[in-house]
């Protein structure tokens, strides 16, 4: 009896421009491209599969701690990291206030609860006050911009963290650390066809999360009833 041969993986080719990040300066350039600065235009849509918390909600003191933990104070990477996050925060704030940016984010409940419990951001352990402020700022955005900043929580695994801008470019990355400078830490793919795979993946998880997490009000209740208590109960 003949045995069926396993299907060969399908290889498909699409035109795309690729940019790489191997330093904090290169990483900053890619992040600002996807979030709307280096391209000279603002994104109409920004979809993010989030790791921990979107850093734009962190206060300057927390950013300082993370920068000092990742890089030596005063180094170019240290200054680039702080400048990147100040710019990203201002970009999102202006975009949401003027309503020209429509941002959707997916968060893993499990990852957020772990973050609240151990407060670990890479190799840095943040204070409870740092995360209280972060969660407060996140909550404020959810309440103030329910039409153009939308979040859903999911129980599903989120194995790949990425951002998609306007359905035309996608970025995958890990954070740069001092010991990883010079290594490939992220890349950006520009092209509607290749970005479409990321957009389709995002939309699938987004739609699947709708029943349990339909709107920002649901997320706000979860922050108040579950996430903040988990932070307070942590060591």
Q: Please indicate, yes or no, if residue 109 is contained in any of the structural domains.
A: yes
Predicted pLDDT at 47: 97
- What pLDDT, on a 0 to 100 scale, did the predictor assign at position 175? 63
Q: What is the CATH number of the domain that holds 21?
A: 3.30.870.10
Query: Does some domain include residue 34?
Result: yes
Structure tokens at 49: 């599969």
The pTM for the full model equals 0.89
Q: Is residue 10 part of a domain?
A: no
| β 102-108/45-49 pair status | parallel
Residue 4 included in any domain: no
Q: Tell whether 171 is covered by a domain.
A: yes
Note whether residue 24 is domain-resident: yes
Instruction: Say if 211 falls within a structural domain.
Output: yes
Does a structural domain hold residue 6? no
- Evaluate if residue 179 carries a pLDDT over 80: no
pLDDT of residue 180: 58
Give the C-alpha separation, 216 to 149, whole Å.
Answer: 9
- How many domains does the chain fold into? 1
Q: Please compute the mean of the pLDDT values over residues 133-148 and round it to a whole number.
A: 97
Asked if 202 and 164 count as a contact pair (C-beta separation under 8 A), the reply is yes
Q: Which range among 42-56, 121-135, 174-188 shows the weakest confidence by mean pLDDT? A: 174-188
Return mean pLDDT, the chain: 89
Segments forming the whole domain that contains residue 68: 17-233
Average pLDDT over residues 64-89: 88
């Amino acid at each position: 009896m003949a045995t069926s041969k396993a299907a060969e993986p399908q290889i498909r080719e699409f035109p795309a421009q690729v940019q790489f990040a191997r330093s904090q300066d290169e990483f900053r350039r890619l992040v600002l491209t996807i979030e709307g600065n280096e391209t000279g235009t603002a994104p109409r849509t920004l979809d993010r599969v989030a790791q921990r918390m979107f850093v734009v909600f962190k206060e300057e003191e927390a950013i300082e701690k993370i920068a000092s933990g990742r890089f030596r104070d005063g180094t170019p990477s240290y200054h680039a990291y702080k400048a990147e996050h100040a710019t990203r925060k201002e970009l999102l704030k202006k975009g949401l206030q003027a309503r020209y940016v429509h941002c959707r984010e997916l968060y893993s409940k499990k990852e957020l609860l772990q973050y609240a419990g151990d407060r670990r951001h890479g190799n840095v352990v943040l204070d409870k006050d740092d995360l209280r402020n972060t969660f407060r700022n996140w909550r404020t955005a959810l309440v103030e911009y329910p039409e153009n900043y939308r979040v859903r929580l999911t129980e599903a695994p989120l194995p790949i963290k990425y951002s998609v801008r306007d359905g035309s470019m996608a970025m995958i990355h890990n954070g740069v650390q001092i010991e990883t400078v010079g290594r490939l830490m992220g890349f950006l793919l520009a092209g509607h066809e290749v970005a479409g795979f990321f957009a389709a993946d995002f939309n699938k998880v987004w739609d699947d999360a709708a029943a349990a997490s339909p709107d920002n009000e649901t997320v706000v209740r979860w922050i108040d009833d579950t996430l903040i208590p988990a932070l307070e109960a942590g060591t």
